[in-house]
Amino acid sequence: MNSVLFLVVIPLLGTFISLFNKKVKEMTFLITLFNEIFTIYIITCVGLPKIAIIGGFLPPYGINFVLTDLSLLFIFLVNTAGLISMLVINEKKTSKFYSVYLVLLAANNGLVLTGDLFNLFIFMELSTFAITALISYKRDKVSSGTGIKYLILSSVSSSFLLIGIGMIYKTLGTLNIADIAGKLNLLSVPTLSLIILLIFAGILVEIEIFPFNIWFRRLIFQQMPALM
């Protein structure tokens, strides 16, 4: 079952190899295609639910990846989107672009599969830096400015998320998602409400969901200059 780690490890290995590979686009496409085929293999051949234990430490103390119907659906969507992205890229890109692209692919797979909040935060931060680098790839005024804005916005969301995760660990003494689910009844309603608010605010700002997205605020500012 630990073979599910390939969905994260292979793209990360490709990140380093791409810096020294002349046919970097072809290699990146092959890695993305591998992830897609391997995801389909997991969907068709693996019974659910399953847990991939990393490092030999059993949950709730160790790092683990969890396969459920929902996580399989999302890793299929992530890798399908990655494959489509590779097929529609027509402009010539440098090796740095594909390196960052592979980091983003690995981070998104990790986000979906991780079974604990600590690694959820790590993968989210990795995804943030990769997205910022891709936004700023052209290094002109518009792309650089947009990248900085996204990084600032993501830093705010990360702060909310980190505070929420810290409160969970302080009150429940665990970061394993399944373990947390079994201990939620130990939390008071105000504490639970605050934790939910912090975590959801962090995630919604991070993924730019309406009305947390910057485009919504920009629209409001354009229509109502007095608010600026």
Phi–psi pair at 125, nearest 5 degrees = -65, -40
Q: Are 33 and 84 a contacting pair, CB within 8 Å? A: no
In a domain, 94, yes or no: yes
Helix (H, G, I), strand (E, B) or coil at 179: helix
How many whole angstroms from its chain centre is CA 194?
23
Q: Are 122 and 161 a contacting pair, CB within 8 Å? A: no
Q: Which of 52, 80, 115 is the last residue of a domain?
A: 115
Our CA dihedral for 26, 43, 129, 10, rounded to 10 degrees, sits at: -50
Q: What tokens does 49 get?
A: 């639910």
Q: Which of 115, 144, 169 is the last residue of a domain?
A: 115
Q: What tokens does 142 get?
A: 């518009």
Least confidently predicted of 1-5, 89-93, 97-101, 145-149: 1-5
Q: Is the pLDDT of residue 209 over 60?
A: yes
DSSP-assigned letter for residue 3? G
Both 170 and 63 in a single domain? no
Both 13 and 66 in a single domain? yes
pTM (predicted TM-score) = 0.84
Residue 220 has what pLDDT? Answer: 45
DSSP-assigned beta bridge partners for residue 53: 64
Both 200 and 153 in a single domain? yes
Report the number of distinct structural domains present in the chain: 2
Please give the helix or strand (H or E) that residue 57 lies within, else none: none
Q: Residue 139 is part of which domain span?
A: 132-228
Confidence band for 123, pLDDT divided at 50, 70 and 90: very high
In a domain, 149, yes or no: yes
d(CA 113, CA 65): 5
Q: Per-residue pLDDT tens for 13-71?
A: 998 888 777 788 889 999 999 999 999 888 887 665 677 777 666 777 777 888 888 88
Confidence band for 79, pLDDT divided at 50, 70 and 90: very high
* Contacts for 210-219: CB closer than 8 Å, 24+ residues apart: 214/149, 214/150, 214/153
Both 136 and 101 in a single domain? no
Both 105 and 35 in a single domain? yes
Both 67 and 170 in a single domain? no
Q: What tokens does 88 get?
A: 């529609």
Q: Per-residue pLDDT tens for 142-157?
A: 778 878 878 888 888 8
| 47 Cβ contact list (under 8 Å, min separation 6) | none
Q: Are 151 and 128 a contacting pair, CB within 8 Å? A: yes
